[in-house]
Structure 1
Amino acid sequence: MRQSRRRPRNRRAQIAAVAAEAFSATGYHGVSMDEIAARLELSSTALYRHYPSKYALFRAEALRLGEVWAAAIRLPPMAANWPIEQRVEHLLEALIAASITNRRSAALLRWQGRYLKAEDRAAVATNLTAVAAMVRTLLGESRPELDASSKSVLGQTIQSIVSSIGDHHVAFPAKTLALRLREACLAVWHCELPPAESAAALHVGRAAVPPTFTHELVLKYAVILFHERGYPNVSVEDIAAAAGLPTTSAVYRFYHSKGDILAAAFRRAAEQVSAAIGPAIAAADSPAHALTALIDLFVAGSFAERELTFVYYAEISNVPLEQRTRLRTVQRLNVQEWAKLLSAARPELTAAESRLLVHTAQALVVDLGRRFGSDDPACSQQRVAHLMRTVLVLDR
């Protein structure tokens, strides 16, 4: 006798969760309604009964995540009588719990929010702005010596720590994950930032690309356009025009496709990170010193290639699968080498905990770059490197 399958009580919530995970993993443009239906073992017709379009599904989950973050910062009525330390602990616990619960869909807002329509993007931004304001408010109460720009930098770093777990798949029991995130947040909350630098000292010059280096011009302008518009909204014709090439065919003399251009840019960045590891270890007298040298190089490279660091996280799902697998492997090996140094400097950490902290420290460089750029005195290379060391708890 054939048994009928019982329909879940909240089919819409199940659909939204599966779709959010798919959007986070392969990008909004990389997922179709048919693929979402297949993951749920639903017919496309059944899926459309719940959501009339892919955008409706994307929008619903993005708005839900924004509301999750807004709910996390609401202190209970009795909090008015709590000491500031208790309110800070409550806030961090609530933000971390929300992040862990929604880890598999967190990258949707971090990297795909640009594809929301203006009205929906504004609604999400309102909630995220409220989170940032609450973090800054409590920072100001607990550390009245901080100026406004320092509160903004520390607040953004704490938000980055909490949300960065959506960018990787290091497996952890929730309790251990919460403990390490809390430790990193509190280390940043109480850290002493180096003095802000002058605007003149911050300027990061870009190496000029000679006009005869056509393949370099293509890479440069492709990354700029991908950053400004999003990969799906840029054509090879757009890249050729931005690079000053006479025809689109000039691009194809160097790269097979738009995805090949993206992969080439990522491959170069990953190889630069890899190439720095051996010399840093050889020149250092301890694992902590080697890791400090790598941090300085990583931050300098990120400041010089702000667009690329964002595009890597936001658009890697658009790299052809075979090349994407190789890039992920190189990235994983780089993280493992950093984590080995961290474990040697902090023997109390497990290998997984070291990898988690390395991912967290590297993510904050990207997030601070998105928020402050490369020319804000409040967020200099010196300060960003110090915050990375603080997250890794090397400055103790």
Structure 2
Amino acid sequence: MAISDKLPVATTRLTAAQRRAQLAEAAARRFEEVGYHRVSMADVAADTGVTAPAVYRHFRSKQDLLAGAISSGLDLVEQTLAQKADNPLEEVVAAVAELVLDRRYLWTLLQREARFLNAELYADVQAHFDRAINEFIRRVRMHRPGLKSRDARLLVTAATSALATPSVPRSAPRSLIGRELAEAATRVLLVPMPTGNSANGGPTPKPAEPHDGTNTRRTKLLDTAIELFFHQGYAAVSLDDIGAAYGIAGPSLYHHFATKSDILVAAFARATDRLIEEHAQPRAGKARSLAELVDQYTDFCLRNRTLVGIYVSEAINLPPDSQRRIKTALRNRVSDWSTALQAEYEHVEQRAARVRATTALTVIDDLVRLGHFHTRPHIAAEIRAVAMAILTGESQLDT
């Protein structure tokens, strides 16, 4: 379905505020679907049935439009939190879940597209986001007075990630998805944090070697490109940037990769191959338990943080055939997890199991790749506890 089919064109005259909100939502959906660099002001104008100059009357530039799209969504989150100021925590989460169910683009824009804003607009968006998150943290700590602020931030980030899970099964009805995501986020916010002996599961895994055991120039160039894509975004990195970071002239890269797209495809192939290799390790014919699947994936992500970051954020830039392979791999992983979940928790219905598996995988990815959570001393145990709470409905760590 085209984006222009999703937003009906108004037949009555809108106020300036209504028009601005309409443009912001249309732009948000465009940015989510194709990425900031592939959207024009004319695209947004066409989606809303106005002329390009009309868009410029509300937003001075595409940068301003992206910032406005994000801020418009954050305004709604803040309004929802304010309206539920005196409600129990689970009702607050349910209200936010209902809000974001049709606006999952907000998390994508914050985590994938906001980095393309100029410094001033990025600072404004970050301050706005911090206000909303800090209010959410305040509400959680009112419910859990002994919870440290830094721990509350991790749990709120995980809950927000759960609420915004982008690829839930299409076969699941909206009511089931909303309920599962709201309940998962609430469970996450109530997970006890590991202390002392409860921080089981061993130390945080060490990062994987940046390359696959070979020292060829091609492999090292790929290592360099992966780091740049992770920190700057694929669209903002040129072949000259990669060459300069490695220490060769940009055109020399053509001896190893025909296009920048080929480098991205190679990065995804590396991530996929590593995942398949780990999953295929001998198990003496015995299927992995749900906890083992969570442990394995958590460890993999912590060892391959930059690859995971690219896997999540840059799939939009892959050629269509590569995108299809990635989606197939994700469906297979969700199927493995949902099958293990139902084998151990027979009361969980199949569609609910798939929603939970998708949500848990999303949250693991986000806790590993975002901010500095990966440096926390017990992050592996914390991620596992959060993921298992999402999957099973049970807290995994004793207080």
User: Which bin holds the TM-score, normalised by the shorter protein?
Assistant: 0.7 to 0.9
> What is the CA-CA distance between 1:42 and the residue it aligns to?
5.6
> What is the CA-CA distance between 1:92 and the residue it aligns to?
0.9
Partner in structure 1 of residue 262 of structure 2? 260
Partner in structure 2 of residue 191 of structure 1? 191
> What is the CA-CA distance between 1:39 and the residue it aligns to?
4.4
Partner in structure 1 of residue 305 of structure 2? 306
> What is the CA-CA distance between 1:140 and the residue it aligns to?
2.7
**Unaligned 5+ residue runs, structure 1?**
80-85
Matches within 5 A, 1:349-388: 349-369=348-368, 370-377=370-377, 379-388=378-387
Are the aligned partners of 2:239 and 2:251 in contact in 1 as well (CA < 8 Å)? no
Using a 3 Å threshold, how does the CA distance of structure 1 residues 150 and 17 change in structure 2: closer, same or farther?
Answer: closer
* Greater helix content: 1
Are the aligned partners of 2:373 and 2:379 in contact in 1 as well (CA < 8 Å)? no
Using a 3 Å threshold, how does the CA distance of structure 1 residues 76 and 146 change in structure 2: closer, same or farther?
Answer: closer
Matches within 5 A, 1:164-183: 165-166=165-166, 170=170, 172-183=172-183
> What is the CA-CA distance between 1:135 and the residue it aligns to?
3.1
Could you tell me how far apart the structure 2 residues matched to 1:25 and 1:169 are?
17
Moved over 6 A (4+): none
- Aligned match of 2:61 in 31, 34, 53? 53
Are the aligned partners of 2:191 and 2:385 in contact in 1 as well (CA < 8 Å)? no
> What is the CA-CA distance between 1:38 and the residue it aligns to?
4.7
> What is the CA-CA distance between 1:54 and the residue it aligns to?
2.6
Using a 3 Å threshold, how does the CA distance of structure 1 residues 59 and 8 change in structure 2: closer, same or farther?
Answer: farther
Partner in structure 1 of residue 114 of structure 2? 113
Q: State the secondary structure of the residue aligned to 1:348.
A: coil
Letter in 2 for 1:300: D
Partner in structure 2 of residue 62 of structure 1? 70
| 1:223 correspondence with 2:187 | no
Structure-1-length-normalised TM-score:
0.83
Q: State the secondary structure of the residue aligned to 2:392.
A: coil
Partner in structure 2 of residue 321 of structure 1? 320
Aligned sequence identity (%): 25
Could you tell me how far apart the structure 2 residues matched to 1:186 and 1:63 are?
25
Using a 3 Å threshold, how does the CA distance of structure 1 residues 101 and 205 change in structure 2: closer, same or farther?
Answer: closer
Partner in structure 2 of residue 340 of structure 1? 339
Are the aligned partners of 2:334 and 2:357 in contact in 1 as well (CA < 8 Å)? yes
Partner in structure 1 of residue 253 of structure 2? 251
> What is the CA-CA distance between 1:238 and the residue it aligns to?
1.6
Could you tell me how far apart the structure 2 residues matched to 1:275 and 1:54 are?
42
Could you tell me how far apart the structure 2 residues matched to 1:15 and 1:325 are?
31
Structure-2-length-normalised TM-score:
0.82
Matches within 5 A, 1:100-179: 100-104=101-105, 106-163=107-164, 165-166=165-166, 170=170, 172-179=172-179
Q: Size of the alignment, in residue pairs?
A: 378
Could you tell me how far apart the structure 1 residues matched to 2:12 and 2:301 are?
46
Letter in 1 for 2:69: E
Are the aligned partners of 1:30 and 1:317 in contact in 2 as well (CA < 8 Å)? no
Q: State the secondary structure of the residue aligned to 1:61.
A: helix
Using a 3 Å threshold, how does the CA distance of structure 1 residues 167 and 224 change in structure 2: closer, same or farther?
Answer: farther
Could you tell me how far apart the structure 1 residues matched to 2:347 and 2:283 are?
21
Q: State the secondary structure of the residue aligned to 2:374.
A: coil
Could you tell me how far apart the structure 2 residues matched to 1:208 and 1:47 are?
45
Letter in 1 for 2:70: A
RMSD of aligned alpha carbons: 3.1
